[in-house]
Amino acid sequence: MRLLERMRKEWFMMGIVLAIAGAKLEPSVGVNGGPLKPEITVSYIAVATIFFNSGLSLKTEELTSALVHIKLHLFIQIFTLAFFPATIWLFLQLLSITPINEWLLKGLQTVGCMPPPVSSAVILTKAVGGNECLLKSRMVEEAVKVVGFWICFEGTGYADELNMRERRVKTDSKVFH
């Protein structure tokens, strides 16, 4: 009886362990093109579901109060789109005169341009007692910007160039595995 209660309490951890064990026993189920189609289910459906569930937990009053923090949103935009890239660029200029491998510098440049993963941003915000609603409103803003970017550049060939670079990076990264 006590074991059953413990399993009910730790259902999520049990699910993770079972999923890992299943993946170890039959890895072909989760590969690209496999029955689970992770290239679709993970990339689109899972991400959309996570954002949808996260949005359901927001109260309308909290969301509207988070959206009116214009100075904070402006600070974040300037920091993420100007200050941080400039700092990374300066750091890369300093590192370029050292014997560091060119591909490591390109990797650092790529990582310096990427936002932190949403999951870790939410976890860290919760851990320090931050404004979770403000974070989620920022994530929505960023998602709108990304979608707007793709819409604006879709017919120009620039989006195709980015897709080619992404494919090239994925191909190049397979060399290191």
pLDDT per position as a tens digit, 104-118: 888 888 877 776 666
Tokens coding 170: 């994925």
Write the single-letter amino acid at 161. E
- What pTM was computed for the model? 0.47
Residue 169 in contact with residue 106, Cβ under 8 Å? no
Q: Give phi and psi for 167, each to the nearest 5.
A: -65, -40
- Res 176: pLDDT: 42
pLDDT tens sequence across 25-71: 998 888 888 888 888 887 778 877 877 777 777 777 877 777 788 88
**Cα 107 from chain centroid?**
17
Please, which residues have CB within 8 angstroms of residue 96's CB and are 6 or more apart in sequence?
105
